[in-house]
Structure 1
Amino acid sequence: MRRRSLLLAVPAGLITLSACGEDTADKDKDQVAESPSAPEPGASAKVVDGPVPAITAGTKFGEKPTVAKGEGKPSGDLAVKTVIAGSGTTVAEGDYVQAHYLGQIWDTAKVFDNSYDRKQPLVIQLQQGSVIDGWRIGLAGKKTNSRVEMAVPPSLGYGSEGRGDIKGTDTMVFVIDVQDTFNGKSSAKGKEAPQDDAALPKVGTNTDGKAPSITVPKAAAPKKLVAEYILEGDGEEVKPEDKLLLQYKGVLWDGGKEFDSTYSREQLAAFPLQQLIKGWQEGLAGKKVGSRVMLVVPPDLGYGDQASEGIPANSTLVFTLDILAKM
């Protein structure tokens, strides 16, 4: 099906969610985003409260930390300490988390990765195979706006083979500032924008994680792309090369029948914008993260004269999209 080749109907869980993707430069950038497909045999998933090294500078949430060298022998279990307790939403395994982090080696205090210098937090799903198991297990149950420090043994990191400068015997130390969490019940939280044009669909402004309504007018469909804010966020503007974390719903202009929705799957979508239909590429570029956007996509920017799953040929499509985060 053409729609599947352009990712619009692929559940997020079927896409490679590693921030590293297949780009060589990215593989050198995000060191937590690849992991063994399963913990090594005999790996302990027991969580203990220490030991973890002291944070000696950059002690506030959101500041780049400086972390002392580990003292003595690290635990063979996963050591997790909440350094700053936030009061936000609780993170669950399977959620996407947005976080700044610094990682270094226990024995040497050598920093092998940090997102603070990149000025771009990592957004990644806490599921096996997408992130190292230390993060997947250690961040579950924490609240947003928390700073978490953890010492990850090799068995819950990159295993006995290691990765890059990280040897198979190295315990990794992370300081993680958990900014936000997203799941299938997440919504954009932007400011309501006017919906004054009677010739355009009306989209619901609910922010409870349920699918917004889309009411299509009994009128001729626009011939050109329409891209309008429903809720205007205050995040960064979307660039054409971005990968986005989205909630969305699509209906046909003729009859208003739903043909696709992340809400019905209760599973977010993570898409590189450049791999999507032209209507999404052109309509979302320049829009702000944290927004709900309504797109009316004419056939030439959608699926044209090719029928697809639930979409007749030459269909005008209407989407509501919540831009939750850049990945």
Structure 2
Amino acid sequence: MRRVLASLAVMPLILFAAACGSEESPATSASASAGAKVTVGGNVGAKPTVTFPSGSPATTSSYEVIQPGTGAAVKTGDKVIVNLTVYNWDGKGNAVQGSSYDTKAPETIPVNQQLPKVLQEGFTKVKHGGRLLAVLANDAVAQPQQTAPAEPTKVFVFDVVGTQPPALKAATGKETGQSLKGVKVDNPGGEKAPTLTTKTSDKPSDKLVVKTIIEGTGAKVQPNQTLTVHYTGKIWGTDKQFDSSWERGEPAEFPLSGVIQGWQQGLAGVPVGSRVVLSIPPNLGYGDQAQQNIPAKSTLVFVVDVLAAY
């Protein structure tokens, strides 16, 4: 099943493309009400069974703790790892949209202000090993445009697996001795920012070049993940800096699939904790389109610390 990041208005929610599954016999039910009585059955750690009431779907968002869990509590700011199953509650077929129990790939959801309030509150009421039922109606999101069709009410069942460890402060690991001709990276050590120098008479490659300066020991970055990184970006040959998360004082966080091709190709497969330098040709950067502080047809150079991936 293909993983899809969708949104209701401006609030990001993890949704799924339609998935096929076999019929399951009803399990011993732990039932709860959320909106009109939606009944959830089955044990935590396995795909739940969900029974919907007759009539129209709920128009008010709500949550219910099905099982509180016995592990560590979930706190605001955590990146909670969950197995989830989601349904469209339309009062007709109430079709399942997908389940991470089918894909065997748990999702990670940041518990922050970007989530609808019902989920912000609900997640902080469960612990690791718990199960949360959430009904998300259109009152959970920003007022949609009048021309946009209303989203169907969604029903989520979340089984809390754990939480992601906090992001690193900087790259950590062994220096590899690798370098990129024409580019200099100084590593001050600790949690200090590296220094990138790109003033050179050497011609840049017309292909993507990736060199690992420090090799981390974390899991390798996957193309569909969201990354937390620190970086500095300069123009090849001029040493002109156009961006730096270090100077802003906080790392950047973004889905890898949403950035320029040079980053997508260059950071996939890099272990978390690594520091890499990338030389990105124009066709994998911004091409013929000038950007703020970046002339058209520029070769971009980045030094990137991969601090977390989820």
Superposition pairs for residues 1-327 of structure 1, below 5 Å? 17-20=12-15, 26-28=16-18, 56=43, 64-65=45-46, 78-79=64-65, 82-86=68-72, 91-93=75-77, 97-103=79-85, 114-127=99-112, 131-140=115-124, 146-152=128-134, 154=135, 157-158=136-137, 163=152, 166=155, 173-180=157-164, 186-187=168-169, 191-197=173-179, 199=181, 200-202=183-185, 204=187, 212-216=193-197, 219-221=200-202, 223-224=204-205, 225-229=208-212, 230-236=214-220, 238-239=222-223, 242-252=224-234, 253-254=236-237, 256-263=239-246, 264=248, 266=250, 268-273=252-257, 276-288=259-271, 291-304=274-287, 306-321=289-304, 322=306, 324-326=308-310
**2:198–2:239 contact (8 Å) kept in structure 1:** no
CA shift in 2, pair 1:320/1:151, >3 Å: same
The amino acid of 2:107's aligned partner reads L
Q: 2:85, 2:158 within 8 Å by CA — same for their partners in 1?
A: yes
Question: 2:154 & 2:76 partners in 1: Cα distance?
Answer: 30
> Which secondary structure does the structure 2 equivalent of 1:245 belong to?
strand
Cα distance in 2, alignment partners of residues 77 and 19 from structure 1: 17
Q: Comparing 215-224 with 117-126, which one deviates more in the overlay?
A: 215-224
Note closer, same or farther for the CA distance 1:189–1:150 as it changes in structure 2 (3 Å cut): farther
Distance 1:104 1:313 in 2: 44
For the residues of structure 1 that align with 2:245 and 2:187, how far apart are their CA atoms? 16
Q: Give the SS at the match of 2:309.
A: strand
Q: 1:187 to 1:132 in 2, by over 3 A?
A: same
Q: Distance in 1 between matches of 2:301 and 2:122?
A: 40
The letter for the 1-side match of 2:179 is D
**For residue 147 of structure 1, what is the amino acid of its counterpart?**
G
Q: Is the 8 A contact 1:102 1:175 kept in 2?
A: yes
Q: In structure 2, how many angstroms separate the alpha carbons of the residues matched to 1:207 and 1:120?
A: 34
Q: SS of the residue aligned with 1:308?
A: coil
Question: Which residue type is aligned with residue 13 of structure 2?
Answer: S
Cα distance change of structure 1 residues 218 and 254 upon mapping to structure 2, 3 Å threshold:
closer
1-structure distance, mates of 2:151, 2:289: 48
SS at the partner of 2:164? strand
Aligned partner letter, 1:283:
G
CA distance in 2, matches of 1:294, 1:15: 33
Whether the aligned pair in 1 keeps the contact of 2:63 and 2:118 (CA below 8 Å) is no
Higher relative contact order (CA 8 A, sep 6+): 1
User: How far apart in 1 are the matches of 2:261 and 2:63?
Assistant: 48
The superposition leaves residues 158-200 of structure 1 with CA deviations (integer Å, 9 ceiling, x where unpaired) of 368994785xxxxx65321123166xx6547663341343744
| Length-normalised TM-score, structure 2 | 0.58
CA distance in 2, matches of 1:121, 1:188: 26
Q: What residue identity is the alignment partner of 1:228?
A: K
Does structure 1 retain, via aligned residues, the 8 Å contact 2:40–2:49?
yes
How many residues align? The count is 250
Check the 8 A contact 2:176/2:215 in 1, yes or no.
no
CA contact 1:277–1:301 (8 Å) conserved in 2: yes
Which residue does the alignment assign to 2:28?
Answer: none
Structure 1 gaps, min length 5? 1-13, 21-25, 30-43, 45-51, 59-63, 71-75, 167-171
- CA distance 1:77–1:219, shift in 2 (3 Å): closer
| CA RMSD, 1 decimal | 4.6
CA separation of 1:219 and 1:256: change in aligned 2, threshold 3 A: closer
Checking the alignment, whether the CA contact within 8 Å between 1:147 and 1:175 is kept in structure 2 is yes
Partners of 1:82 and 1:148 within 8 A in 2: yes
Aligned to 2:130, what secondary structure does the other structure show?
Answer: strand
TM-score by length of 1: 0.56
Q: Distance in 1 between matches of 2:211 and 2:286?
A: 21
Q: Any conservation in 1 of the 2:65–2:132 contact (CA below 8 Å)?
A: yes
CA apart distance, 1:136: 1.8
8 Å contact 2:131–2:160 — kept in the other structure?
yes
Query: Identity over the aligned pairs, expressed in percent?
Result: 24
Q: Answer whether contact 1:292 1:323 (CA < 8 A) is retained.
A: no
